[in-house]
Amino acid sequence: MPKKVLLITPPYHCGVLESAGTWMPLGMVYVAGSLQNAGYKVSIYDAMSKYHTIVDIKKYIEDYCPDAVGTAAYTSSLNDAIAVLRIAKDVNPETVTFLGGIHPAFCWEEILKKEGNIVDYIIRGEGEITTTELFRNVFSGRNPDVPGIAYIKDGKIILTGDRPLITDLDSLPAAWNLVEWQDYSFKTKKNSTLAVISSSRGCTQKCTFCSQRLFWREKWRARNPENFVNELEYLNYTYGVDVAMIADETPTYDRKRWEKILDLLIAKKLDLEILMETRVDDILRDRDIIDKYTRAGILHIYAGAESANQNTLDRYHKNLKIEQSKEAIDLINKAGIISETSFVLGMPDETPDSIEAALKLAKYYNPDLAFFLAIAPWPYSDIYPELAPYIEEFDYSKYNLIEPIVKPVNMTREDLNKHLLRAFREFYIDKLSKIEELGEFKKNYMIKVTRLLINDSYLSEQMKGEMPPNVKQFIEKYIN
DSSP string, 162-228: PPPPPS-GGG----GGG--GGG--BTTSTT--EEEE-SEEE-----TT-SHHHHTTT-EEE--HHHH
Q: How far is CA 146 from CA 94, 131, 215, 461, in A?
A: 21, 9, 19, 49
What per-residue confidence (pLDDT) applies to 433?
86
Q: Where are the domains of the chain?
A: 4-159, 178-439
User: CA-CA distance, 215 to 278, in Å (whole number)?
Assistant: 18
Q: Which residues of the chain have pLDDT under 70?
A: 15-17, 205-213, 215-217, 306-320, 456-468, 470-472, 474-480
CB 291 within 8 A of CB 335: yes
CB 69 within 8 A of CB 97: yes
Q: Which residue type sits at 69?
A: V
What per-residue confidence (pLDDT) applies to 317?
54
What per-residue confidence (pLDDT) applies to 381?
85
SS3 404: coil
CB 248 within 8 A of CB 199: yes
CB 69 within 8 A of CB 99: no
Pairing mode, if any, of strands 149-153 and 121-123? antiparallel
What per-residue confidence (pLDDT) applies to 86?
98
CB 98 within 8 A of CB 134: yes
Q: If we measure between CA atoms, which residue out of 304, 343, 103, 309 comes closest to residue 205?
A: 304
CATH architecture of 178-439: Alpha-Beta Barrel (3.20)
Q: Which residues of 282-291 are buried (b: 16+ CB within 10 A; e: fewer)?
A: bbeebeeebe
Assign domain 4-159 one CATH number from 3.40.50.460, 3.40.50.2300, 3.90.870.40, 3.30.420.40: 3.40.50.2300
Q: Which residues of 69-103 are buried (b: 16+ CB within 10 A; e: fewer)?
A: bbbbbbbbbbebbbbbbbbbbebeeebbbbbbbbb
What per-residue confidence (pLDDT) applies to 206?
64
